[in-house]
Structures are given as C-alpha cells and as structure tokens.
Amino acid sequence: MGYSYDENNIFAKILRGEIPNKTVLETAHSLAFEDISPAAPVHVLIIPKGPYVSVDHFADEATDEEIIDYTRAIGEVCKITGVQPSSGGTGFRSIANTGSDAIQEVPHFHTHIIGGRNLGRMISQA
C-alpha cells in the first residue's frame, strides 16, 4: 500500500507556521514542542520536519542526516526537560504511536517524551 502523507494534518500546519506551538527545541530537521494536552508534568513531542507518517516510514525513507538530527533532538529534549536518569532525572517514557491499533491521532511521525511523575506500567492488560 505504501505511505500516504496528509499535508493538512495539524503538525504539518505547525511546521508551516499556520498554528502556534510552544517550541522546546528547533534543529535543521526537527522540531520539539509541548503537547497541548499533557499526560504528565513533562510531555514534549518531537517531530521531523519532513513529511513522514510514522516511525517505520521515517526509518525506511528518511536520510541519514534527518535520522541523526532527529535522534540527537530527542536526546537534547531529555536534557532540556531534566528527565534523564544520567543527569539526576527520574526517567521518562518515549512513545511513537503508529496506526489504528496504537490510536495514532496525528498522522505525522512524532515521539512523545513523557515524564516528571511515576508513569505506571507500560500497557494496560485490557
């Protein structure tokens, strides 16, 4: 079936500057901003600037430069938000929901960095 990117998704609009965001970090190929509906005291979304639907799309088709930039941006966000155990933080969860089973709401690849409180177990058994 292949990947089909919707240019009108909300994160594409953020990247075009059509709607505001609370930027945490901007790099050459990535943008990180506060989640509008935070699930914990720290809740930041990191997105690539390129038109990728999901983590698997990004892994398949992004350039090495984009992948390095994005991965480093995640590390930088963990530093900025202070969640890194290696720097005295109490940890975090990184999540990339993909497709309908994971209830991905926005069809532009994003990684959630969530922390600042105990997050409980990873997945409910229900």
> What own/partner pairs with CB < 8 Å and gap ≥ 24 does 38-42 have?
39/112, 39/114, 40/114, 40/115, 40/116, 40/117, 40/119, 41/115, 41/116, 41/117, 42/81, 42/82, 42/83, 42/92, 42/113, 42/114, 42/115, 42/116
The three-class DSSP label of residue 9 is coil
**Residue 8 binding ligand AMP, by CB under 6 A:** no
For ligand AMP, the closer of residues 19 and 68 by Cβ is 19
State the number of CA atoms in the 13 A half-sphere of 20 facing the CB: 1
Among 2, 4, 8, 37, binds ligand AMP (CB under 6 A): 37
- Among residues 9, 10, 27, 93, the one that binds ligand AMP under rule CB under 6 A: 10
Q: Of residues 40, 67, 80, 106, which one binds ligand AMP by CB under 6 A?
A: 106
Catalytic residue among 29, 43, 108, 110: 110
Whether 110 sits among the annotated catalytic residues: the reply is yes
Of 36, 41, 59, 65, which one interacts with ligand AMP (CB under 6 A)? Answer: 36
Enzyme catalytic residues: 110
Contact set with ligand AMP (CB under 6 A): 10, 19, 21, 35-37, 45, 97, 103-106
